[in-house]
Amino acid sequence: MTAQKDIRMKARAEIFKALGHPARLAMVVALGDGELCVCELQEIVGSDMSTVSKHLTVLRHAGLVDADKRGKQMFYALRLRCAVEFLHCVDRALEERSQS
Partner DNA sequence: GGGTCATTTGGTCAAGTGGCAAAATATACG
Partner DNA sequence: CGTATATTTTGCCACTTGACCAAATGACCC
How far is Cα 97 from Cα 87, in angstroms, rounded to an integer? Answer: 15
Q: For the chain, give the longest Cα–Cα distance.
A: 51
37 binds, among DNA, its own copies, none (CB under 5 to 8 A by kind): DNA
Stretch that binds its own copies, among 20-28, 32-40, 53-61, 70-78 (CB under 8 A): 20-28
**Residue among 12, 39, 48, 68 that touches its own copies (CB under 8 A):** 12
Stretch that binds DNA, among 4-12, 15-23, 81-89, 90-98 (CB under 7 A): 15-23
Residues 36-75 that bind DNA (CB under 7 A): 37-39, 42, 47-58, 67, 69, 71-74
Closest alpha carbon to 36 in 15, 17, 59, 18: 59
CA distances to 5, 81, 87 from 92, in Å: 31, 18, 9
Residue (70 or 96) nearer to its own copies, CB:
96
Q: How many CB atoms lie within 10 A of CB 83?
A: 20
Residues 42-61 that bind its own copies (CB under 8 A): 44-46
